[in-house]
Amino acid sequence: MKTYDFKVRKYTPISDNQWTKIRDLLEKPYTTARPRTVSIRNILDGLRYLVRTGCQWRNIDEKYGKMSRLRYYFDKWTADGTWTLLLKRLVLGRRGQLGLKTELRVGAIDSQSVKVAPLIHEDKGIDGNKQINGRKRHLIVDSQGFPLAIYVGAAHKADGKEGIELLAELQENYKNVSKITADAAYKNSFEKAAYWCDIEVKISQKPPSQQGFVPQQGRWQLERSFAWLNFYRRVAKDYEKKAIYSVSMLKMAFCSIILNHF
């Protein structure tokens, strides 16, 4: 059975059915007497438009509101963990829709190096293997390629050490994961850190004699997940000055990808 049919669609606002899945996470009641004067649904549509089309903040269509207001909510939801909660809700909801277990036990980890936009200096380096001057995205995904944890760092840093940064988010949101499939880059440092989290790391690497891309059991879904991001222009390249905002943009993109199937 085909479990995920990704289609390249023109950007469309969130539907009523999609909004009901996540509304309670975003429209939190105010604790003050001051009433809300903006539409949170419209704010979310504006942020989804940004990540889908790749436009600049100052060029977002005015129908979504002022740039400063959109940026305020983007920063707020980054700081308070809303993007993480939103992504978790959608991942588990989509798995349930597909008839899969919501208690995840197996994951896979890998990284992708991407170029950064001009004038970005923080968390930046040269990946000598890929010959890319930029940043590196680290993902842990489930069997469908849905992200469980995301981290972004400088491209020159070792995968094994940077991958450790994913474990805290994984343990907080998916405590039952007990096995992670990885390639040889995640040996030693990552293996040791995962051991203290009661997670087994299985190294899966193609034979040295084989050339080109070879699908590896338990890990090929990662390549598909990275490929999905190509259709979200804001994350096809890293345009964010701080890596923490790069993580939020990636979570926004994956939220939109999954939302398209509700």
Q: What is the pLDDT of residues 120-162, one digit of tens each?
A: 999 999 998 889 999 999 999 999 999 999 999 999 999 999 9
Judged by DSSP in three states, 125 sits in strand
CA 42 to chain centre: 22
Euclidean distance between CA atoms 231 and 186, whole angstroms: 28
pLDDT of 55 above 50:
yes
Mean pLDDT of the chain: 89
The total number of residues written for the chain in this structure: 262
Choice among 32-36, 100-104, 223-227 with the minimum mean pLDDT: 32-36
- Long-range contacts made by residues 213-220, C-beta under 8 angstroms, separation at least 24? 216/181, 216/183, 217/181, 218/106, 218/108, 218/143, 218/181, 219/108, 219/110, 219/181, 219/182, 219/183
More confident site: 204 or 41? 41
Model pLDDT, residue 214? 53
Using CB atoms within 10 Å of the CB of residue 209, give its burial: 0 to 12 exposed, 13 to 18 middle, 19+ buried: exposed
* Whether pLDDT at 260 is above 50: yes
Mean pLDDT of 230-245: 95
Q: How confident is the model at residue 36 (pLDDT cuts 50, 70, 90)?
A: confident
Tell me what percent of the residues of the chain surpass a pLDDT of 90: 77
pLDDT-derived band at 227, boundaries 50, 70, 90: very high
Q: Is residue 62's pLDDT more than 80?
A: yes
Q: Is the pLDDT of residue 246 over 60?
A: yes
Residue 2 has pLDDT above 50, yes or no: no
Beta bridge partners of 152: 137
Coil, helix or strand at residue 229 = helix
What was the pLDDT predicted at 140? 96
| Fold assignment, 101-206+214-243 | Nucleotidyltransferase; domain 5 (3.30.420)
Q: What does the pLDDT average to over 161-188? A: 93
Q: Which DSSP symbol is given to 238?
A: B
Containing 106, the helix (H) or strand (E) segment is: strand 106-115
Largest CA distance in the chain: 68
- Rounded Cα–Cα distance for residues 204 and 216 (Å): 7
Q: Mean pLDDT across the stretch 86-95?
A: 96
